[in-house]
Structure 1
Amino acid sequence: MTLWQLVIPVVVGLVLAFLWWAGKAMLEGAREGIQEANEELAQEKAEREAQQAEQTAARQQVVETAARSLGEAERFALNLRAPFAQLWIQIFEDAVSGRPLEYFYQFTPPAGKEDELRQSLVEGWEITDHTSALSSLAWLLDSGHRAPYQTVRQHLQSGDGTSDELNKRLAAVVGKWESEVGEVGGLAFDLARAVDIAAQGVALGYLSEAQGWRVLGQCRQMARDAAFRDWAHYGQSFRAGAEFWKSGGVIDGVRNKGYAQTVRWLLEDADSPWVRDPWPTAGQVLEQQRAADTDGVRPTLH
């Protein structure tokens, strides 16, 4: 046996041993690197979650402060417009501060969207000033769409309306919602719109704040005098009125679907003002903080 025959196996063994050691060291290094990376990711995640929790707590505090600044009567009146407030909140949402849920407990919308408010009033109501705002509010408080809704309902109940006398689409809407809303019909839709218009009118300077709160006082009294059982009943009435307004949803089915989703959120989500403040029981006296928000007296808008 030559020297090379003795040396080569030893060299090969040493090389293999070195490769094994180097591979083990690299594997352990990789594992340590992965562990460190995971620890860094976990720390970053914990910091993000802590920051998000802090931001959420801060936002909740803002909402809580806004809610506590109002009496029960004021919150109830503002809650009547909650379906529209929920839709507006999506417009006012900010990438940093999130959804301004405090708007549920604020009379006027957040600043910065006056152009959108103005366009909404012009396109939806042709409201451009004090006089036109008062005119639309007077119509909503006096009759709104609930008056023709009840006319169709009475014809259907009495059976004296012929197919020629009744709009088939309107009759279909009333018949569809009868078991859900009954005698209140689409009243909630008119009330929600009146409160929403009053708030926008104040924000744009078309109404004084005192005039706006008087509108809310009237809407609150109308809601208390109606046969609403709870917010679920009110929400269905809102949807019935909206669908009647759109003649059965044929014109704008997307909007009707959005209203349904909004009402569902208001009835189920923990952040909803309807969840926070259940519908007052019969005979319950609501605490109020504004002398201008008179109870049981029809306001003079002028």
Structure 2
Amino acid sequence: MAPFIRRRKATRAYPTPLTLHQLWMVSLAAPVSRDRDAARTTLYPFTRLDGDKARRWLAEQWEIGTREELLGRLGGLARSGYRAGARARLGVEPLAWDIALYVDITRRGFACGMLTEPDAWNLLKNVVPQVAGTYNSWQEYADHYLLGRQVWREDLRRRADGSLPAPQPVADAHLRALLDPADRKSPWNAAPWDSIRRPDRARA
């Protein structure tokens, strides 16, 4: 049996709290951050340092093994992503789905060392104008995220590859918790949508 490894907490490695704008950007990935070890208030995607886990996930889920492949995948999501197919089918482009994936991949790329911290922040800043110009609330963002996820699941079902993700009710419940104004753990309550349009400030 492999020895148990107690990994270092991410908050000890990165103790400085994110600014309001930084938390807003990281929170774009909150819909896909459902795992128990997911970190939602740091650039690092996990509560404990685990670069190997991030690297495995990128390889298995996205066939990303190098920095060049990661940047290419991010560029595709930023330019068109899955929303192009959704537009042809539904007449709307669920940008939120692509952006949630974009931010998630960026954070994992940072976690496994394919991206430096400045690299990661610059990549996240690049999509802010597009996202802030498309939506006016976390509710609108959540609605389009779920729409994009539904289209993606339908595509997987049609291909019948036998590897469907979490059931839609699981994603629905997660989004309801993020949007619940009484949920103190929701990063969307800590970084309201309009905060990205105001001057940045430090958080306690």
Superposition TM-score tier, normalisation by shorter sequence: 0.7 to 0.9
- Identical residues among aligned pairs (%): 25
Query: Counterpart in 2 of 1:276?
Result: 190
Structure-2 separation of matches of 1:113 and 1:152: 39
Question: Is 1:74 aligned with 2:22?
Answer: yes
Aligned residue runs from structure 1 range 118-137, under 5 A: 118-137=55-74
Q: CA deviation at 1:288?
A: 6.1
Which AA in structure 1 matches 2:194? Answer: P
Q: Is 1:287 the equivalent of 2:195?
A: no
> Distance in 1 between the 2:197 and 2:165 partners?
38
Q: Deviations over 1:159-208 (max 9, x none)?
A: xxxxxxxxxxxxxxxxxxxxxxxx5x321111111111111101111112
Alpha-carbon shift at residue 285 of structure 1 (Å): 2.1
Instruction: Return the alpha-carbon distance in structure 1 between the equivalents of residues 122 and 49 of structure 2.
Output: 25
**Letter in structure 2 aligned against 1:287:** D
Distance 1:209 1:232, change over 3 A: same
RMSD: 2.6
Cα distance per residue 1:65-113 (max 9 Å; x no partner):
97x822222111111111223x13x135xxxxxxxxxx22210134443
Distance of 1:262 and 1:149 partners within structure 2: 23
Counterpart residue identity of residue 285, structure 1: R
Structure ID, larger Rg = 1
What residue number does 1:116 align with? 53
**3-state DSSP of counterpart to 1:81:** helix
Structure 2 residue runs without a partner (length 5+): 1-10
Amino acid at match of 1:260: D
Q: Is the 8 A contact 2:28 2:99 kept in 1?
A: yes
Q: TM-score, normalised by structure 1?
A: 0.54
Aligned mates of 1:91, 1:71 — CA distance in 2: 22
Question: CA separation of 1:249/1:259 partners in 2, compared to 1, >3 Å: closer, same or farther?
Answer: farther
- Asked whether the equivalents of residues 84 and 196 of structure 1 are also in contact (C-alpha less than 8 Å), the reply is yes
Aligned pairs for 1:1-302 within 5 A? 69-85=17-33, 87-88=34-35, 90-91=36-37, 103-109=39-45, 110-154=47-91, 183=92, 185-226=93-134, 228-247=135-154, 250=157, 252=164, 254-268=166-180, 269-280=183-194, 284-287=197-200
Bigger RCO of structures 1 and 2 (CA < 8 A, at least 6 apart) = 2
Could you list the runs of 5+ residues in structure 1 that have no partner in the other structure?
1-61, 93-102, 155-182, 290-302
Partner of 1:22: none
